[in-house]
A = this chain, B = another copy of it.
């Protein structure tokens, strides 16, 4: 980066907030993809005005800007693949500005960690439901940029369902407000709607207003073991159709169950086709009991072979142990895990899983699957036995592409939670027409005519 630019940033932010040394660049060069791209600099804006000044300067000088959360993304959204300066909010813009008890909203800066907000609002008996697996370290700015999901989506929805308002800075330095602290607001275009999930490519978020709900007083956990995926999916459908929406309804397939049992010997049946784990919550014990009764009925009508309701927190933790340890257990099937977060309409889950079994057979890879049946979001894992065998790795990616094709053919999406970034960019053409891609490029131009904000991500 030219010295004149470095000097501008250091004059603006102070030398302690504008870094161009190898160590800082290295520290902000990677994300959960484990890929590395060195940025040209790392900036820590202190406030919205700093962001505005930085963007104005970068826009005039055609310097790429990469807004970055915690770098926990799975698709490279925050990687400086074309250089540029990384904007990090973790040093200064990491404050919870307001917990507004009357309107049940929180106002936060983008660098606040998801869990920090959850913990804070809990003190007031409130609840911020979106719970990406990264919630202990991912930032709310990143969550909004990627529209993060989580296990509680079936009942509580995802990040976009909680964003009430945003403040953001456009590439030209102008500050815009989008949305209000109100459920209803239909004045002008839904700017917040398009900023969510835009992967930092349209504007830089400077303030986020999030909806809170009352923290449910009670929660119960149930588990069902099924002979087949079809039976399990039938149980999911029946439960929902009878008006019970569990907080989460997670499934493990046979390969996942077998891997878990081999690793931990918890007595899971090796011949089971699927396990469902469901949490039900609410404020009234009678209502939870009623919900559990309906859930139990639905499971029995779907030929569950073993059904259990946890009597206490310990039993609930035991049940959840299986789901929480899925990801590490399946490592036994290969040392390279190509994991994707495809999502299909719930009704298509059996067909999806059958198709994946065929792909598994065709390519001779184990492909264990687990995830969120309540919302059709499946974590598929193409397990490549030897990551040092380039031919095998190539075949692995071919299998992934087939999984994507199958998903799209079933009305599903390339990504339920992780976004597109660079990892899934090559697959965008499977899911979007040229007209749709062109429209997205035009929207990008409307916000960012010089293409300085996280450019060339999402296949745009």
Interface residues of A (CB under 8 A from B): 100-105, 125, 146-147, 149, 153-154, 157-158, 160-161, 170, 172, 174-177, 180-191, 193-194, 196-198, 213-217, 237, 240-245, 282-284, 286-287, 290-291, 343-347, 372, 375-377, 411-420, 424, 428, 431-433, 435-436, 439-440, 442-443, 445-447, 458
Interchain Cβ contacts under 8 Å between A and B, 12 examples: A104-B241, A146-B186, A177-B433, A182-B416, A184-B416, A185-B343, A187-B415, A187-B420, A190-B193, A191-B439, A286-B286, A287-B287
Name which residue of chain B comes closest to A217, CB basis.
B243
Q: How far is the CA of A286 from the CA of B291 in the complex (A)?
A: 12
Question: Are the C-beta atoms of B189 and A194 separated by less than 8 Å?
Answer: yes
A330 to chain B, nearest CB (A): 22
A276 to chain B, nearest CB (A): 16
A121 to chain B, nearest CB (A): 12
Question: Are the C-beta atoms of A214 and B241 separated by less than 8 Å?
Answer: yes
Contacts of A377 in B (CB 8 A): 182-184
Question: Are the C-beta atoms of B242 and A439 separated by less than 8 Å?
Answer: no
Partner of A439, one of B170, B197, B433: B170
Question: Are the C-beta atoms of B188 and A420 separated by less than 8 Å?
Answer: yes
Question: Are the C-beta atoms of A187 and B102 separated by less than 8 Å?
Answer: no
Contacts of A194 in B (CB 8 A): 189-190, 193-194, 443
Q: How far is the CA of A157 from the CA of B184 in the complex (A)?
A: 8
A160 to chain B, nearest CB (A): 7
A340 to chain B, nearest CB (A): 11
Partner of A413, one of B184, B284, B415: B184
Partner of A446, one of B147, B412, B439: B439
A300 to chain B, nearest CB (A): 19
Contacts of A197 in B (CB 8 A): 186, 189-190
Q: How far is the CA of A411 from the CA of B217 in the complex (A)?
A: 32
Partner of A416, one of B161, B186, B416: B186
Question: Are the C-beta atoms of A376 and B290 separated by less than 8 Å?
Answer: no
Question: Are the C-beta atoms of B344 and A182 separated by less than 8 Å?
Answer: yes
Q: How many copies does the complex hold?
A: 2
Q: How far is the CA of A399 from the CA of B436 in the complex (A)?
A: 45
Question: Are the C-beta atoms of B175 and A435 separated by less than 8 Å?
Answer: yes
A239 to chain B, nearest CB (A): 10
Given contacts A194-B194, A413-B182, A439-B447, contact A283 B243 (CB under 8 A): yes
Q: How far is the CA of A381 from the CA of B283 in the complex (A)?
A: 38
Contacts of A213 in B (CB 8 A): 243, 245
Contacts of A102 in B (CB 8 A): 237, 345-347
Q: How far is the CA of A125 from the CA of B197 in the complex (A)?
A: 34
Q: How far is the CA of A293 from the CA of B306 in the complex (A)?
A: 38
Q: How far is the CA of A189 from the CA of B197 in the complex (A)?
A: 6
Name which residue of chain B comes closest to A192, CB basis.
B193
Q: How far is the CA of A343 from the CA of B286 in the complex (A)?
A: 36
A147 to chain B, nearest CB (A): 5
Question: Are the C-beta atoms of B284 and A182 separated by less than 8 Å?
Answer: no
Name which residue of chain B comes closest to A377, CB basis.
B184
Question: Are the C-beta atoms of A375 and B184 separated by less than 8 Å?
Answer: yes
Apart from the given pairs A181-B411, A283-B290, 12 other A-B contacts in the complex at a CB distance below 8 Å: A153-B184, A158-B183, A170-B439, A172-B435, A176-B435, A181-B345, A183-B343, A184-B413, A189-B194, A190-B196, A191-B436, A439-B447
Question: Are the C-beta atoms of A442 and B435 separated by less than 8 Å?
Answer: no
Given contacts A196-B193, A287-B284, contact A147 B186 (CB under 8 A): yes
Partner of A376, one of B182, B345, B346, B445: B182
Name which residue of chain B comes closest to A341, CB basis.
B184
A204 to chain B, nearest CB (A): 14
Q: How far is the CA of A365 from the CA of B215 in the complex (A)?
A: 44
Question: Are the C-beta atoms of A412 and B182 separated by less than 8 Å?
Answer: yes
Contacts of A147 in B (CB 8 A): 186, 190
A124 to chain B, nearest CB (A): 9
Contacts of A346 in B (CB 8 A): 102-103
Contacts of A174 in B (CB 8 A): 433, 435, 439
Contacts of A158 in B (CB 8 A): 183-184
Name which residue of chain B comes closest to A146, CB basis.
B186
Given contacts A180-B412, A182-B416, A443-B443, contact A198 B189 (CB under 8 A): yes
